[in-house]
Structure 1
Amino acid sequence: MKLKSAIAIVAAGALAPAVSVWAQDNPPPLAERTAQSDLPLEGPRGAMQIEHVSLSIAVHPSQRRIEGTGFYRMVPQADLSELQFDLDPRFNVSRVEFDNVELAGSEWRNPDGLLTITLPQPVSANEPVMVSIDFGGMPHEAINPPWEGGFVWSQTEDGQPWIATAVQGEGCDLMWPCIDHSSHRIDTLDLMVTVPDGLVAAGNGRQIGTYANGNGTTTFRWQARDPSNYGVALQIGPYEVARRDYRSSYGNTIPLAFWHLPGNAEGAQRLLGEMADQIAFMEATFGPYPFGDEKAGVVETPHLGMEHQTINAYGNGFRPEAYGHDWLLQHEFAHEWFANQLRNASVNHMWLAEGITTWTQPLYLEHARGRMFYDAEMWKLRQRVWSRVPLVPPEGELPDYNDREAMWGDDIYFKGAWIMHTLRYLVGDGALFPAITRLTYGTSQPVPGEIHPLTRTTDDFRAILEDITAEDLGWFFDAYFHEADLPRLDMRQDGAKVSFEWITPSDLPFQMPLEVRVGGSNRTLMMTGGRGVITLPSADAHFLADPDNRILKYDAAVDAWQNRETEN
């Protein structure tokens, strides 16, 4: 997603695209409800399973306005007399039909972002219904995309419109009537985007057709299966397309495509080559690319990036990097596995998408460049672990991604990645990688064509790991996910005897095995009950605990550096 690290900020600051951004100096604030995603699924909103959405959106760049119609086929999960959708109240709802009958304007209301439609007659559970909603207006403009999201209205160097949406934190209701919750999914999407002639709308899934309307506009039609709500995107510009096919080791052929601005064809083709290498790595490490029946797509955008399903946003400027590959392309593409295939059940478990994805970056470096690159990248990530609040807040508490005091928005990336690094040490590759595969696909042997996204929690991950390892990992998950403070290693020396103890706020003993290097060899203390003792060859013998830095723990030097950085 919107990787807001020191690395990303530097990259964004260095980016100088040929673009001017049309942005309001002080855009009206979002309604309180609209600004929040993952509000409890209560009432009719929590009892609506949407099977299909046909979403038609006409984009008017000169007015910074959209007009849309959403047609929904849904199956109520309970008897309902009302339907409810999330929709930014700055949109005007002009027409609502229920089972092809137009409702009076008095039958719907949306004062606060909860569009409520009173039905002419109640509907029964499991009885399919059809609803269409016409809406339009000037959508919320992103203040700092993609971190503070919305619509981005921009221009290319030669003055052509260049438009994007990035709404992960704020939700799909900034763009269309939807159920704005991480756990909610729709089965199929038919997306039709109408733009002025000369522009191209790159979309999710497969392109079904392009239609010249004869009135100065063109419509692009896309169809996608199982799209994530915030992964549905508008990405519009005077695009050209670079294409190639990738023959997967699983036997299927995956179409690759990069929608880029004119003049960037060479860079787009180079990055498609990098994407092919990344598919090979991800498939060998975790499992098949989940959307090979549609495409692996990328589009150049006027903001840094976002993991829009099968059409990832890319704004990193095609610059060569010392990594040997484009870090942003790799990060967003890995989200196809961890965000678009494996989905967090609520924002509270968002580390599953962001932390595992961030960890794939040093993993890919290890694969492509060697272990030194892995270790160097992990050290970089360690400096951004703050651990001021629990990584998985209690259910019912909605964390704030942009809270710069809590820094939870950093921890879901960097603490999440370091937890995976520590798990790798604790359980080994032979348990951890199969666990990730099962978590992501629901099976240990995923097959292309038989894959559908799964919604998961942190407890699901624990259950899978415990099943594979036959170990109770409650102490690990409690200390790292449900407590704010990192484990501390207390060391006391009495002559040649050194005692070690793990200190955590958890009621459960932290039983992380500890390697201690004495001379040129390592010894492992099992730390039963959170304690261990070692006897040195002599009282002045040098020793080093956790010499390979495999355990996420409190580090006084990092803490002092972070305090100094935040003061400055």
Structure 2
Amino acid sequence: MKRSFFTLGLLLFAFSMQAQVLSDKEGKYTEADTLRGSLRPERSYDARKYHLTLKVEPEKKYISGSNVITFRTSEELPVMQVDLYENMKVDSITHGSDKLNYERKHNAVFIEFEEAIAANTTDSISFFYSGHPRVAENAPWDGGFVWSQDEDGNPWIGVAVQGAGASLWYPNKDHQSDEPEEAELHISVPNGLMNVSNGRFEGKRDMGDGFTQWRWKVVNPINNYNIMINIGNYAHFSDKYKDLDLDYYVLPYNLEKAKKQFKEVKPMMECFYEKFGEYPFVEDGFKLVETPYLGMEHQSAVAYGNKYMKGYLGKDLSGTGIGLKWDYIIIHESGHEWYGNSVTANDIADMWIQEGFTSYTEAVYTECRWGKEKALEYLKGLRKGIDNENPIIGDYGVNAEGSGDMYPKGANLLNNIRSIYDDDELWWKTLKDYTLTYKHQTIDTEDTEAFFNKATETDLSPMFDQYLRHSALPVLQLKEEDDNVLYRWKADVENFKMPVDVFVDGKEIRLNATDKWQKLEQTDDLEDIRVNEKEFYIATDFQE
């Protein structure tokens, strides 16, 4: 979740709001990048469950405990890679009664079994560790712990790790393609404080040493970076939408503000249920948890730090005023429950699958509440934050994300597809079917392309290729020649073609434009032509 804000007309509009740290390596990758980003033989297993038992000591900024990792091998596994930042201490690793040997390389731990684990075997290890985890200087823009205090001087602690990696604070298979099917978190914090984690509250226990253990359980697949702790002197209130439990954890002095602000959750759920399908983690419930940083999409425990303002900290990222009608963090981060948490990109190079779709949920919510024209206006406003300097798909296998354009450009790409369909019933059906088809799955860009391509007779492949794998927009060229108006596309993709709608003397017509010059029959005057800019995000070149 990372985005910088702007002041109208004066300050730079730059999108970097979503929580991952965007790659700036420009193709210069290291061995550490490969160890983190690739699925090597030492990672030929699927994580089935993480059982994290942890003690958090705020005064020392220190954590200690273990993760019991249950896994199933896909191939014979003599050596297993588990990821943990090199500044964290490995206390011991056990397999049954055996204490295992290991070697460390960068942020990876290579564990040697006494005997290789056979293929298609379910097994587990216990990984004990401790240390001072990395501190976030400016969460969520950089990953790490936030050791803060509330206004009453109580410890208030959060963690944001998307991009930086969950392995900065607990051992796991830190690759986006592998989600454990369930998780348990038993987190001990000083007496008087509460820990709120993902899933359902299972109870608490006084440990007798000045600490209380808070127990939470997740019964759905969950991204590594979404497994989370939130520690504070929280007040709790709850509500319900249909059969979905809504729980809210906020600082006590913000309780009344929260009760008012969080009323937006119900109309949001009504909209998202209609457009995307049922909330994907009903069994784990939905929570908003107040955090000392802006926000993050932590599954079933969404981090909220928007200070009870409309917009994005009181500002509108679209510059249209429409973004001030709703609370950005509630809508955007909750939208991630469908896109990012339920439908997840296998490799972070394809993060637009998560971020582009989630940015589009902002427009969907706007349309549900205030109509399609407002949604189109909002999407057009977001284009101010697009640089079109780098592709929005990154490099595969090296833990590298693409351009930050993935947010607003990804959302506008989806709006292009809707406009090409030119059939809102078909569009909403396809979007919902896509969301339900890939519920609780990790997928690639190719899966997304194929799904939306199949729903229409128009070949969307050239458009996907241009918008995702190239930085520049396709340019619709128009010129007058021999008392005719001619048009064509200029693009990076060979044989590029894409329908586009234009107005000629106020009447909307569709141009089935290709990279070859064609004659526009409806007029011989360029001044009569205007592109439907709300529905199509393209560049234009009117050649006099």
TM-score over 0.5 (shorter chain): yes
Preserved CA contact (<8 Å) 1:37 1:181? no
1:552 corresponding residue in structure 2: 537
Q: How many Å separate the matches in 1 of 2:112 and 2:518?
A: 65
Seen in structure 2, the aligned counterparts of structure 1 residues 111 and 479 have a Cα distance that, compared at 3 Å, is closer
1:162-311 residue pairs with structure 2 within 5 A? 162-224=156-218, 225-247=220-242, 253-311=243-301
Matched, 1:42 2:32: no
Q: Partner of 2:149 in structure 1?
A: 155
Q: Which runs of 5+ in 1 are unaligned?
A: 13-30, 248-252, 402-407, 444-451, 558-568
Q: Per the alignment, do residues 312 and 142 of structure 1 end up closer, same or farther by CA in structure 2, a change over 3 Å counting?
A: same
TM superposition shift of 1:508: 2.6
Distance in 2 between residues matched to 1:547 and 1:473, nearest whole Å: 19
1:460 aligned residue:
447
TM-score by length of 1: 0.85
Determine the C-alpha separation between the residues in 1 that align with 2:496 and 2:112.
54
1:115 paired residue among 109, 112, 118: 109
Q: CA deviation at 1:56?
A: 0.6
Verify the 8 A CA contact 2:198 2:301 in the aligned structure 1.
yes
Aligned residue in 1 for 2:367: 366
Q: Which moved more, 1:197-206 or 1:461-470?
A: 461-470
CA distance in 1, matches of 2:359, 2:352: 10
Residue of structure 2 aligned with 1:533, choices 510, 516, 519: 519
The question of whether the paired residues in 1 share the 8 Å contact of 2:158 and 2:292 is answered with yes
SS at match of 1:375: helix
Q: Relative to structure 1, is the Cα distance of residues 397 and 83 closer, same or farther in structure 2, using a 3 angstrom cutoff?
A: closer
Alpha-carbon distance in structure 2 between the residues aligned to 1:192 and 1:326: 32
1:522 aligns with 2:508: yes
Aligned 8 A contact 1:439 1:456 in 2: no
Deviates more, 1:345-354 or 1:465-474: 465-474
CA distance in 1, matches of 2:223, 2:468: 25
Question: Residue 147 of structure 1 contacts residue 169 of structure 1 at CA under 8 Å; is this kept in 2?
Answer: no
What is the CA deviation profile of residues 412-456 of structure 1, one whole-angstrom value per residue up to 9, with x for unaligned ones?
Answer: 10110110111110123333333332332217xxxxxxxx51111
1:277-300: CA deviation from partner (whole Å, max 9, x where unpaired): 111100101111001112111111
SS at match of 1:293: helix
2:477 aligned with 1:490: yes
CA 137–36 in structure 1, closer or farther in 2 if over 3 Å, else same:
farther
Displacement of 1:549 after TM fit? 3.0
User: Kindly tell me: are residues 10 and 189 of structure 1, through their superposed partners in 2, closer, same or farther at Cα, counting changes over 3 Å?
Assistant: farther
Whether the aligned pair in 2 keeps the contact of 1:354 and 1:413 (CA below 8 Å) is: yes
Where 2:379 maps in the other structure, the secondary structure is: helix
What does residue 25 of structure 2 align with? none
Q: CA deviation at 1:335?
A: 0.4
Instruction: Give CA-to-partner distance per residue, 1:287-319, whole Å, 9 cap, x none.
Output: 110011121111111111100000011110002
Distance 1:194 1:11 in 2: 42
Partner SS for 1:2: coil
Q: Give the distance between the partners of 2:352 and 2:33, measured in 1 at CA.
A: 20
Tell me, in whole angstroms, the C-alpha distance in 1 between the residues paired with 2:131 and 2:409.
Answer: 40
State the TM-score, normalizing by the size of structure 2: 0.89
Q: Deviations over 1:492-522 (max 9, x none)?
A: 1136521111100111322x22323222322
Structure 2 alignment gaps of length 5 or more: 15-28, 312-320
- For residues 548 and 473 of structure 1, the distance between their equivalents in structure 2, rounded to whole angstroms, comes to 19
- For 2:131 and 2:395, locate their aligned partners in 1 and report how far apart those are by CA, in whole Å: 37
Cα deviations by residue, 1:95-129 (Å, 9 ceiling, x for unpaired): 211123333xxx12224211111111222112222
Q: Answer whether contact 1:37 1:171 (CA < 8 A) is retained.
A: no
Displacement of 1:149 in angstroms is 1.2
Aligned length: 513
What do residues 138-173 of structure 1 show as CA deviations (whole Å, max 9, x unaligned)?
000112211111111111112111111100011110
Distance 1:274 1:63 in 2: 38
C-alpha separation in 1, matches of 2:466 and 2:123: 47
Aligned CA distance change for structure 1 residues 517 and 313 (closer, same or farther; 3 Å): same
State the identity %: 28
Contact 1:307 1:332 in 2 (8 A): yes
User: Which residue of structure 2 lines up, in the alignment, with residue 509 of structure 1?
Assistant: 496
- 8 Å CA contact 2:146, 2:292 repeated in 1: yes
Corresponding residue for residue 393 of structure 2? 392
Deviations 1:6-36 (A, max 9, x none): 4899999xxxxxxxxxxxxxxxxxx977788
1:60 counterpart letter in structure 2: E
Secondary structure (helix, strand or coil) at the match of 1:159 reads: coil
Question: Does the aligned pair in 2 maintain the 1:145–1:303 contact within 8 Å?
Answer: yes
Residue 345 of structure 1 aligns with an amino acid whose one-letter code is: N
Q: Which AA in structure 2 matches 1:67?
A: S
- Shift in CA distance, 206/301, structure 1 to aligned 2, threshold 3 Å: same
